Structures are given as C-alpha cells and as structure tokens.
C-alpha cells in the first residue's frame, strides 16, 4: 500500500475506504482495478506479436502469399458486407444467434454487435480490394508484347486482367456500401478520408482517378437506392446531438484521468469506474467505453505509457509512409506488387487511426488482427523499396576512379 500510495493515490484512497467500510485489512493490491482483464490482454498481444512475426516470414519466403492474404481479407469483407446489407434490408435479422438488439435494428453489423466496430473493420478491407484491382490493371510484361505470334493471346490476357480488375472494384464498392448502411457516422467519414488519400496518393492519372471515384459513386447510388438512403440521412441529421453526447462523455472522463495520471486505472477498468465518474448521465445508462480510444488509453494506461505508445505508433507509421511516398510519382506499370499493396494499406491504417478519435474500434480483437496485417503489408512494401533503392549502382562522378582508369592510357601515351 505504501508503494501504491505513491503511484496511484486515488486507488489507495478507494482501498482504504474498503478497509474501513468492510472491516478488511488489505495490504497488497494490483495497480489496475481489473487485473484479470490486463492478463488476458497481455496474452492476446503476445499471440498478436507471434502472428505478425509469422506473417512477415511467410511474405518473405513465398511470393504468392501476398495474393493469398489479399484474397482472404477480401473474402471475409464480402461475407461481412453481404450479411450486413441483408440486416439493413431485413431489420429483424440479428447478429448470428443474437436477435434481441433493438437499438441496432435496420443497421448493417455483420457478425459484429457494435456497428462502429463493424464499419472500422470494413474500412480496413475495401482498400485491399482496390489494391488487388490495381495489381490486375498493371501492364503485362514487355516480352509478351514483342512476340508477334502471341499478340492475340496478349490482347486477350489484358482484357481478362481488366475485367478481373473491375470485378475487384465492384467488390470494394459493395463493402463500402455496407459501411454506409451501417449508419456509422464515424465510419462513413473515415471511409471518405481513406478514399481521398487513395485518390491523392495512387500513381494513376487524373482521368483514371475521376473514373475510379465515378465508379464508386455510380455503384453506391445504383444499389443504395434499392435499399433507400432515408435512414442514413436521418442518422446524419442527428450528428450534432451525437457529437454533444460524446463530448460530454469525454469531459466527464477527464477527472478519471486526472486521478490516475501516472499508472492509469488498468486495462478493462473503464466500465468499472464510469458509473462513479460519469454523474451527468441517467443512472440506468452505463458507458463501458469512452467513445475515444486514445482518451481511454490514457485513462487505463496512464499518461506516460499512453503518450509513448501513440508517439511511437505515429513515428513508425510516418517513417514507413516516407519510404513508399516516392512510389506515388511513378507509373503504375513500373511498381512492384508489394509497393501497391503498401500504398493502400497505409491509407487504410490512417483511416482506422482517425476513426478511433470518436469510437472504440481498437477494442475489437478482430480489428487489431487486421490492423496488424496492414502494418506487416506496409512494412513488406517498404522493405522491398529500400532493397530496390540500395541495389541501384552508384552514379559515376567526373573525378571518379573509373574515369581515371580510362584517362590513364592517354596520359602514358
């Protein structure tokens, strides 16, 4: 208790009150209010680290494994999107065996209960479908074009690749449509942010960027009009009310952070303390999340550890994007496949991080699995880019050794 009084005075005062009221004699206690949740979280993070190391090794050893990852993620996204669109058209369709969720009826949720976490998941998948389409839009190798006897087959291959590319763009638009009909305002704004980043950073002409955005708009209006946009528009009309509610939750959560600045309250303890600190809300309403991942991280981890984590994450992401940024000024046909995937992965990661400001997508283990996958795909592309740059021969200088060798015979003569 003496150590705890220095690290977390607020928790010490709570324990002293327990000793007085319950007539107990607690001398030792954990730093966090929910230590079992912390142990489970650490175990999951260890498994996530092993998954990342295995994925990185497989991408380096198997060149086809990159496409396998893309197809797997896109397949999961399509299943979730179709399930969510069925929920939007059939309000009585629940989430798997859970059919008594009245507040989310008519909203696309797929196999995830909370619609904002569902939207965050799909926003990490549909950019990969765009990346798969770009891989197919790349020009075929030149050696196939130079052979006259294979011109017809080469032309048919190009047409087949373009047709498959448009198919992946169609799949991406279906997933985006599910994000829209989840009625997640944060998810929709994050989707627009990701699309804007892709339109700015993709190494394609301005004409193709307009065609890409027009394709997405056309599919969304065509298929979305069948379901109807009334519920989505009504949801966005309440964005001011929802913003005020979130802002009040943040203000009410700040005293929790002030009382536990150094070591935090512990992972999974926000729901235990929200009933004590959030006094401006009705007693029958319990908030298990702060609707801001970064504020909740600061409350549960403490300011030093949370700031270190966020700063390290931003610096790592910035350095990775800095390595692949030169690829945005090159032609699409000259880019290697991992570089294209890394470009779309970086946009998806930025959208996921931005969505965490108003929701809690980080708290879903499936989302952590997919964002880890995106980081490994991004790193795989940057590793290849640095390898390509380092493998280029250094340019010859006027006073270099090679020029001296060529001038030496003239001097001897």
Per-residue pLDDT tens over the stretch 90-125:
888 888 887 666 777 888 999 998 899 999 999 999
Tell me: do 255 and 315 sit in the same domain. yes
Question: Does residue 132 lie in a domain region?
Answer: yes
Tell me: do 207 and 267 sit in the same domain. yes
Where residue 139 falls among pLDDT bands split at 50, 70, 90?
low
Where residue 386 falls among pLDDT bands split at 50, 70, 90?
low
Question: Does residue 359 lie in a domain region?
Answer: yes
Question: Does residue 404 lie in a domain region?
Answer: no
In this prediction, residues 218-238 reach a mean pLDDT of: 77
Tell me: do 21 and 48 sit in the same domain. no
| Residue 402: predicted pLDDT | 45
Domain containing 10 equals 1-30
Tell me: do 1 and 68 sit in the same domain. no
- Phi/psi class of residue 266: alpha, beta or left (left: φ > 0; alpha: ψ in -120 to 50)? left
Tell me: do 128 and 8 sit in the same domain. no
Tell me what the pLDDT averaged over the chain comes to.
83
More confident residue, 304 or 100: 304
Report whether pLDDT(225) > 90: no
Q: How far apart are CA 128 and CA 162, in angstroms?
A: 17
DSSP code of 194?
A: H
Tell me: do 235 and 127 sit in the same domain. yes
> Tokens 């079992």 correspond to what residue?
36
Q: How far apart are CA 302 and CA 46, in angstroms?
A: 21
Report whether pLDDT(55) > 80: yes
More confident residue, 153 or 101: 101
For 294, counting Cβ atoms within 10 Å of its Cβ (0-12 exposed, 13-18 middle, 19+ buried), the class is middle
State both tokens at 304: 């030093």
pTM for this prediction = 0.85
Q: How far apart are CA 116 and CA 182, in angstroms?
A: 8
Question: Does residue 397 lie in a domain region?
Answer: no
Tell me: do 7 and 100 sit in the same domain. no
Report whether pLDDT(405) > 50: no
Percent residues over pLDDT 70 in the chain: 86
More confident residue, 276 or 171: 171
Question: Does residue 151 lie in a domain region?
Answer: no
In this prediction, residues 194-205 reach a mean pLDDT of: 89
Report whether pLDDT(379) > 70: yes
Bridge partners (DSSP) of residue 95 are 98
Tell me: do 1 and 120 sit in the same domain. no
Residues 6+ apart with CB under 8 A from 190: 119, 120, 123, 351, 352, 354, 355
Tell me: do 2 and 128 sit in the same domain. no
The string of pLDDT tens digits covering residues 358-369 is 888 898 999 999
Question: Does residue 178 lie in a domain region?
Answer: yes
Question: Does residue 20 lie in a domain region?
Answer: yes
Tell me: do 6 and 105 sit in the same domain. no
Cα angle 313-67-58, degrees, rounded to a multiple of 5: 65
Report whether pLDDT(202) > 80: yes
| Residue 121: predicted pLDDT | 96
Top mean pLDDT of 22-36, 129-143, 272-286, 354-368 is at 354-368
Tell me: do 238 and 252 sit in the same domain. yes
> Number of folded domains in the chain?
2
Q: How far apart are CA 80 and CA 75, in angstroms?
A: 9
Tell me: do 22 and 41 sit in the same domain. no
Question: Does residue 58 lie in a domain region?
Answer: yes
In this prediction, residues 170-191 reach a mean pLDDT of: 92
């Amino acid at each position: 208790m003496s150590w705890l009084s220095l690290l977390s005075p607020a928790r010490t005062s709570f324990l002293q009150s327990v000793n007085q009221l319950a007539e107990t004699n607690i001398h030792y206690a954990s730093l966090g209010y929910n230590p079992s949740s912390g142990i489970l979280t650490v175990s999951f993070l260890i498994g996530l680290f092993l998954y990342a190391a295995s994925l990185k090794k497989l991408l380096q050893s198997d060149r086809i494994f990159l496409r396998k990852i893309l197809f797997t993620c896109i397949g999961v996204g399509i299943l979730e999107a179709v399930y969510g669109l069925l929920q939007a058209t059939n309000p009585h369709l629940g989430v798997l065996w859970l059919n008594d969720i009245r507040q989310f009826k008519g909203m696309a949720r797929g196999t995830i209960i909370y619609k904002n976490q569902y939207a965050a998941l799909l926003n990490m998948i549909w950019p990969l479908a765009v990346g798969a389409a770009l891989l197919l839009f790349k020009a075929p190798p030149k050696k196939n074009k130079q052979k006259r006897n294979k011109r017809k087959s080469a032309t048919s291959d190009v047409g087949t690749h373009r047709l498959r590319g448009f198919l992946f763009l169609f799949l991406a638009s279906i997933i985006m449509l599910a994000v829209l009909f989840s009625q997640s305002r944060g998810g929709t704004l994050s989707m627009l942010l990701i699309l804007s980043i892709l339109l700015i950073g993709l190494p394609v002409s301005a004409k193709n960027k307009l065609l890409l955005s027009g394709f997405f708009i056309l599919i969304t209006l065509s298929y979305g009009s069948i379901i109807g946009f009334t519920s989505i528009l009504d949801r966005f009309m309440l964005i001011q009310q929802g913003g005020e509610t979130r802002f009040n939750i943040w203000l009410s959560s700040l005293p929790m952070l002030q009382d536990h600045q150094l070591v935090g309250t512990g992972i999974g303890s926000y729901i235990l303390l929200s009933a004590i600190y959030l006094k401006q809300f009705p007693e029958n309403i319990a908030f298990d999340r702060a609707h801001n991942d970064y504020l909740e991280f600061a409350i549960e981890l403490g300011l030093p550890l949370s700031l270190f984590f966020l700063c390290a994450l931003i610096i790592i992401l910035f350095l990775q994007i800095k390595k692949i940024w030169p690829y945005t000024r090159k032609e699409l046909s000259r880019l290697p496949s991992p570089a294209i995937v890394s470009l779309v992965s970086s946009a998806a990661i930025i959208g996921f991080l931005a969505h965490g400001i108003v929701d809690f997508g980080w708290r879903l283990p499936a989302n952590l699995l997919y964002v880890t996958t995106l980081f490994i795909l991004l790193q795989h592309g940057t590793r290849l880019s640095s390898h390509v740059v380092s493998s280029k021969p250094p340019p010859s200088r006027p006073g270099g050794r090679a020029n001296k060798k060529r001038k030496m015979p003239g001097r001897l003569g």
